Structure 1
Amino acid sequence: MRIFNKYQPLLIAKYVKTFFSGRLYIHGRGAFSYAKGIMVMPEHADERHRITVHEINRLIGKMQAPAEAV
């Protein structure tokens, strides 16, 4: 279990994508689990958990999407 003392969405997204499955704790936000490279919504999630999971998963999706050519 990895503990993040500060909420840094990009760092957490990179961690989840890299380690693929496990558990983590974010100080001030609570415990989360992740599987298949994305965060999983807890069964009894409050609004703060929902916002965090959606934000992290959105960042993971952006990292996996191919970059547009300019």
Structure 2
Amino acid sequence: MLRKFPNYHPQQIARFVKALFKGQFAIAGVGEFDFDNGKVLLPDVRDQQKLMTFKEINQAIESLSA
């Protein structure tokens, strides 16, 4: 299942990842991401925007657990 987010809202995406646990999502203007075990998987590290987005979403996921 590929969910497309038209806007980047880390908390909303974190809730989506936590609920589905495994799958894919895309953010308009950023790109596609995969997630497994309730965490976003490391994207291509050459793309700094994707890398920062990856970090922010995983931090938001951890804050949901606390």
Q: Secondary structure at the match of 1:32?
A: strand
* Deviation larger for 44-53 or 15-24: 44-53
Paired AA for residue 60 in structure 1: I
Moved over 2 A (4+): none
Matched, 1:5 2:6: yes
**2:20 alignment counterpart:** 19
If the length of structure 2 is used for normalisation, what is the TM-score?
A: 0.92
Q: CA deviation at 1:27?
A: 0.1
How many angstroms apart in 2 are the aligned matches of 1:59 and 1:12? 9
**2:60 alignment counterpart:** 59
Any stretches of 5+ residues in structure 1 without a counterpart? Answer: 66-70
Paired AA for residue 30 in structure 2: R
If the length of structure 1 is used for normalisation, what is the TM-score?
A: 0.87
How many angstroms apart in 1 are the aligned matches of 2:40 and 2:22? 9
Any stretches of 5+ residues in structure 2 without a counterpart? Answer: none
Matched, 1:48 2:49: yes
Identity score, percent:
36
How many angstroms apart in 2 are the aligned matches of 1:4 and 1:59? 16
